[in-house]
Structure 1
């Protein structure tokens, strides 16, 4: 936004300091003037000798000296105010320089203001924190864009290869080609829908309503029960009513992703998935844990990154597109919650979602 030029903050502070000093000096001189008028008799004489000044003589001598004193105060106020204002605003100049660098795209710069904590240092620390978050978000977006481009290019390349092979084959198997193309197209559609869901969760554009996580968990369990039975897994649900405020559709997607992930990445047979809900002080909690292979903390810390499927995790018909936990993380953050992933001692993963509890019914 274009703005008309104005006085600098340093000049304004200088004028304020000088003005205050002038007012204080004028008030002091006024007090002296009133003292002379009220307490010194008009005909009083002072001191021995041939020349004895009266009150009128004192007043005549006082006026020019008062004017000289005010002039000196004005000069001291302007000079001293300019120096003091410069020292006071020096931290602000560093913050302004860092802001300009950030506006030009340099997110790696940090102010790192030294000294004890005051308003300027609080502002500098908050600005450094903001820059760190922006830099991390920018790096994550670039990495996500690169991964998404790669993932979206894969089904297109497969489709092109299938069509080229079929075009060079004098007697192609049309049914097999159609089936492969249908599978590849379904994967591309799933990936696109997952990206749209992730974008919607990141934007936080949804209407909040009262949602019971225990009911959401039951619905997700009923939906995925056939998949669990085909894999020989047991689904266990328990817990209390856990109400929060948010989007029912997004929270349903979050829970479904967690249960689906726990089913797909489980033991080959006789595995277990446990879904529990609970209420704590000002928060509600949803926990999904599953049996499975042993996971390292380092590997677990990367599972919420887009397109991360973990070591020894391969694509199958139900593996997904690698955005399940990334979508869960975005939905949790959009609802002002926290997501904690921890490896289980006996193998498998425990995922805990904590969300703000809904206020009690009025």
Structure 2
């Protein structure tokens, strides 16, 4: 964007230093002058006649004062330029780092030395921002690669099935149609999940007062047939838990967590616990499940898109690998936090902490 040219910060600081030094020098000379006038009489009587001391003092003092002010001006300009340059060195390093970041080089860090001051705090904050941007950029690149792979897989399978059917015209198409229908449904589910993830990231949703306990019960009732089919038990508990957000998106969070707890559970006789609780400043949703033991390293990667803690069973309820990524995105869009911890006996505990709302 074009802007009108103006004075540089270094030149402004130099003029400020020089101006302050000139004012201080002028005030000092004025004080000296007033001090001298206080004790010097206007005239004195001598055997040779009357002498005007003040006039002689002015004539002697004025050239010296002008010379001193001229010296202070030159000294202030030169010294101010040098001092301003040394003061702005950290800002120059920050500016260079900003230009590198603007060109896509996010690995550069300022690492400003010295004690903590305004420039050091600014540099440290900028380094922290670069670290987060670099991590976010790497995460986006992994997401794009994984999304491309996940979207290409059903299309490649569909193409193979169609090629087989074209080369074998006498083959029964019933199984082919069923298989194509299943693959197409998974592709649609994946695209809808990606759209939901994008919607949550943009925070383009209306907020209202909702009760997490009612949402938890709704999600549990919806997924109860799937749990019963797998021989699992869902237990819900919790008092009224008010918060503020999108009912549809918070229901999506709870549904994804309960579905994930069902799919990644024991083969039979497993349990899913869904609890809600209210605290002075937060509303908490907790979903726990029995299952295989997970290491902290594996758990830390589960919120990344298309990451799976255990081998996923490929069936109609396997999901598309975006469940916890969507939960993380929606939680952050609601100014909340998401915490995943492995259970000592096996399984996972997921805690969603949202800002508390007034009673609903």
Q: TM-score by structure 2 length?
A: 0.96
Report the 3-state secondary structure (helix = DSSP H, G, I; strand = E; otherwise coil) of the residue aligned with 2:43. coil
Q: Which residue of 2 aligns with 1:149?
A: 148
For residue 52 of structure 1, report the CA deviation from its aligned partner: 7.0
For residue 314 of structure 1, report the CA deviation from its aligned partner: 2.8
Q: Mean alpha-carbon deviation: is it higher for 184-193 or for 352-361?
A: 352-361
Q: Which residue of 2 aligns with 1:97?
A: 96
Q: Which residue of 2 aligns with 1:330?
A: 329
Change in CA separation of 1:45 and 1:298 when aligned onto 2, cut-off 3 Å: farther
Q: Where do 4+ consecutive residues of structure 1 move more than 6 Å?
A: 48-53
Residues 218-241 of structure 1: per-residue CA shift (max 9 Å, x gap): 110111111111111111000122
Give the whole-Å Cα distance in 1 for the aligned partners of 2:4 and 2:250: 49
For residue 36 of structure 1, report the CA deviation from its aligned partner: 4.2
Give the whole-Å Cα distance in 1 for the aligned partners of 2:20 and 2:359: 55
Q: Which residue of 1 aligns with 2:218?
A: 219
Give the whole-Å Cα distance in 1 for the aligned partners of 2:161 and 2:200: 35
Is 2:22 aligned against 1:22?
Answer: yes
Give the whole-Å Cα distance in 2 for the aligned partners of 1:222 and 1:170: 46
Give the whole-Å Cα distance in 2 for the aligned partners of 1:26 and 1:249: 72
Conserved 8 A contact 2:264-2:310: no
Conserved 8 A contact 2:227-2:234: yes
Give the whole-Å Cα distance in 2 for the aligned partners of 1:130 and 1:151: 31
Give the whole-Å Cα distance in 2 for the aligned partners of 1:167 and 1:45: 132
Conserved 8 A contact 1:262-1:288: yes
For residue 172 of structure 1, report the CA deviation from its aligned partner: 2.1
Report the 3-state secondary structure (helix = DSSP H, G, I; strand = E; otherwise coil) of the residue aligned with 1:244. strand
Give the whole-Å Cα distance in 2 for the aligned partners of 1:49 and 1:3: 71
Change in CA separation of 1:82 and 1:50 when aligned onto 2, cut-off 3 Å: farther
Conserved 8 A contact 1:36-1:55: no
1:335-350 matches, within 5 Å, as 335-350=334-349
Residues 236-291 of structure 1: per-residue CA shift (max 9 Å, x gap): 00012221221111111011000000011111111110000112231111100001
Give the whole-Å Cα distance in 2 for the aligned partners of 1:337 and 1:177: 45
Give the whole-Å Cα distance in 2 for the aligned partners of 1:289 and 1:276: 9
Conserved 8 A contact 1:201-1:331: yes
User: Can you give the 5+ residue segments of structure 2 that lack an aligned partner in the other structure?
Assistant: none
User: Can you give the 5+ residue segments of structure 1 that lack an aligned partner in the other structure?
Assistant: none
1:229-248 matches, within 5 Å, as 229-248=228-247
Give the whole-Å Cα distance in 2 for the aligned partners of 1:332 and 1:179: 37
Give the total of aligned pairs.
360
Q: Mean alpha-carbon deviation: is it higher for 310-319 or for 106-115?
A: 310-319
Conserved 8 A contact 2:291-2:348: yes
Give the whole-Å Cα distance in 2 for the aligned partners of 1:50 and 1:244: 99
Q: Which residue of 2 aligns with 1:307?
A: 306
1:43-192 matches, within 5 Å, as 43-44=43-44, 54-192=53-191
Q: Which residue of 1 aligns with 2:31?
A: 31
Residues 61-92 of structure 1: per-residue CA shift (max 9 Å, x gap): 11111101100110111111111111111110
Report the 3-state secondary structure (helix = DSSP H, G, I; strand = E; otherwise coil) of the residue aligned with 2:277. strand
What CA RMSD, in Å, does the superposition of the two structures yield over aligned residues? 2.0
